[in-house]
Amino acid sequence: MVKIIVGTNRKNSVSKVIAQLYQSILDERGVESEILELENLPIDFIGTALYENSGKNEAFNTFHDKIAEGKKFIFIVPEYNGSFPGILKSFIDGMTYPNTFRNKKCALVGISSGVGGGGIALSHLTDIFHYLGMHVLALKPKLAKIEQNMSDNLLTNRLYVDLLQTQADQLLEF
Ligand X SMILES: Cc1cc2nc3c(=O)[nH]c(=O)nc-3n(C[C@H](O)[C@H](O)[C@H](O)COP(=O)(O)O)c2cc1C
- Residue 75 C-alpha from the chain's centroid: 2
- The region of 11-19, 55-63, 88-96, 130-138 touching ligand X under the rule CB under 6 A is 11-19
- The region of 13-21, 35-43, 130-138, 154-162 touching ligand X under the rule CB under 6 A is 13-21
Cα separation, 123 vs 46, in Å, equals: 25
The nearer residue to ligand X, 104 or 141, going by C-beta atoms, is 141
Helix axes 158-173, 14-28, angle to 10 degrees: 60
Is the CB of residue 105 less than 8 Å from the CB of residue 25?
no
The nearer residue to ligand X, 100 or 149, going by C-beta atoms, is 149
- Residue 138 C-alpha from the chain's centroid: 15
We find the least distance from the C-beta atom of residue 145 to ligand X, in angstroms, to be 8
Q: Which of residues 97-156 bind ligand X (CB under 6 A)?
A: 111-114, 116, 146
Q: Which of residues 46-85 bind ligand X (CB under 6 A)?
A: 78-82
We find the least distance from the C-beta atom of residue 83 to ligand X, in angstroms, to be 8
Partnered with residue 161 across adjacent β-strands are none
Helix axes 119-131, 86-93, angle to 10 degrees: 10
Query: What does the binding site for ligand X look like in residue numbers (CB under 6 A)?
Result: 8, 10, 13-15, 78-82, 111-114, 116, 146
